Amino acid sequence: MRYKNLGKTDVKISEITSGTWGMAEGPWGEFDKAACISAMNIMADLGVNSIDTAPVYGDGVSEETVGEFLKGKQRDKFIVYTKCGINIEVPRGGNRRGAKRDDVIKGCEGSLKRLGTDYIDVLFVHWPDPETPLEETMGGLNFLKEQGKIRFIGLSNHGIPLLEEAMKYGSVDMIQPPFSMVDQSAKDIMVWAHGKGTGSVTYGSIGAGILTGKIRTLPELGERDIRGSFYGSHYKEPGFSKVMELMKSIDKISEARGVPQSQVAINWVAQKEYVLTALIGVRKDSHARENCAAMDWSLNQDEMKILDAEVGRLFGTAS
């Protein structure tokens, strides 16, 4: 496994992170808790020390699943991220967006209970709350940090102006933007953040599965399929044809190296200097092993240049 330091700290984070959005009933299909915990155990055994979750993933079920995984383990061996700002309601079955001070604090308390832990390593604000000044949101996060309930502060899906505003009121240690070979929309934000010593945790790192090479014809997606909504541009034209064109270059490297296409895509993200760790969803043992094996090798400079050129030609800036 490869590791990078979080900013100027000595906290080492594995270059891939276990993603748990799919660890609940919902848009990713049938949920098998035992299989998900088994996959996380394999990731951990192979050196992955960071796990990402959120209250809204299955209305708390994902956090509870991560909590079960953590039982009996040495807590300080893992870097656990969760989120606030999309608040689950009780009884389960709904959520609302809000990042007021009380929302942040109460949300954290709920996450601590579901995770079965005394502290959260990184608490992200999931999405911006236009109704709440960032000074108030950061005040809640700083309070939790002072109380020892969180170690680091993160902002997910926030642009540069919002990050600059937040940094007036405290340290923003990590951000979580979308980034992959087929989504360059947040690259400028990530480069800017890297220059400030703020680490980027990328989501959608393999394009919601489209860069695995297992999809070669445009699929018909159901209404609840997250690939057609949240990641819609990859799964409809003209985006889909562009992805298939990119796959030609990925296939060549995959064949030459004797590795799955997914590992090419994972390495391309993880090897960017402005990326701290690439978030990869995991629900099966086979996926866990395949993801981790990507860290056993690296793309060379020529391969990166070829892929950067194709990504830039098809999707915009890439280097």
Report yes or no on whether pTM surpasses 0.75. yes
Helix (H) / strand (E) element for 197: namely none
**Residue 183 β-bridge partners:** 180
Residue 272 tokens read as 């960017």
Residues 6+ apart with CB under 8 A from 157: 126, 127, 128, 176, 177
Query: What value, to the nearest 5°, has the Cα angle with vertex 64 and ends 63 and 69?
Result: 95
Name the residue with tokens 């999405």: 127
pLDDT at 159: 97
pLDDT of residue 316: 81
Quickly state the pLDDT bin for 319 (edges 50, 70, 90): low
pLDDT, tens only, 37-91:
999 999 999 999 999 999 999 889 999 999 999 999 999 999 999 999 987 765 4
Residues in CB range of 177: below 8 A, 6 or more apart: 156, 157, 185, 186, 189, 190, 200, 202, 203
Cα separations in angstroms, 169 against 35, 138, 229: 42, 6, 34
| Mean pLDDT for the stretch of residues 192-196 | 96
pLDDT digits (tens, 9 = 90+) for 162-173: 999 999 999 999
Q: Which domains does the chain have, with CATH numbers?
A: 3-216+260-298 (3.20.20.100)
Given a contact cutoff of 8 angstroms between Cβ atoms, the answer to whether 264 and 253 are in contact is: yes
What sign has the CA pseudo-torsion 305, 269, 284, 14?
positive
Token digits of residue 280: 């990869």
How far apart (Å, rounded) are the C-alpha atoms in residues 120 and 115? Answer: 9
- Which DSSP category does 2 fall into? -
> Which tens digits make up the pLDDT trace of 111-130?
999 999 999 999 999 999 99
Q: Give 16-34 pLDDT, tens digit per residue.
A: 999 999 887 766 667 899 9
- 133-156 pLDDT, tens digit per residue, is 999 999 999 999 999 999 999 999
Q: Which two tokens stand for residue 172?
A: 């923003």
